[in-house]
Amino acid sequence: MPISNLLSCAFVVRILVICIFISSLSGCTSMHSLEGDLTVQRVLDEVNVGDLVHLVTVEAEKYQLNVTKITKLQICDVDLCVPIESIASLETQKVSLVKTVPTVLATGYVVIGLLFALALGSI
């Protein structure tokens, strides 16, 4: 393989790495803080099994839980259950489809375009 082709391949790989890095910074997920009064019903409405939650108890203990179970009394992950009544603040991680879909599509188009250009020998 000629050196010019190797340099072209190296250039394409760099562009792909940059595209992947930029798409990872786009923030497809964000933390959603529950403001105000944390009633049991509000926690049950906002938190679902599978959510990642960051919470602080009234005793100032901090926890990060991948919710596996939620009841009227507690939020649980595999190793730990925290009583809902002891929660002082709560944040849930939410996936934003508005940010995720365009990012995935744009990255896909760039990667496909670069691969076609490479296959056609124009790079």
How large is the C-alpha radius of gyration of the chain? Answer: 22
Q: Can you give the pLDDT at residue 46?
A: 86
Q: Can you give the pLDDT at residue 33?
A: 77
Distance, in Å, from the CA atom of 85 to the CA atom of 58, rounded to the nearest integer, reads 9
Q: Are residues 36 and 89 in the same domain?
A: yes
pLDDT tens across the length of the chain (123 residues): 555 565 566 676 777 777 666 665 555 666 677 777 788 888 888 888 888 899 999 999 999 999 999 999 999 999 999 999 998 889 987 666 566 667 667 777 777 777 777 676 665
Q: Are residues 3 and 22 in the same domain?
A: yes
Q: Are residues 39 and 89 in the same domain?
A: yes
Q: Are residues 59 and 74 in the same domain?
A: yes
Residue-range definition of the domain harbouring residue 19: 1-28+96-123
Q: Are residues 36 and 9 in the same domain?
A: no
Q: Can you give the pLDDT at residue 69?
A: 94
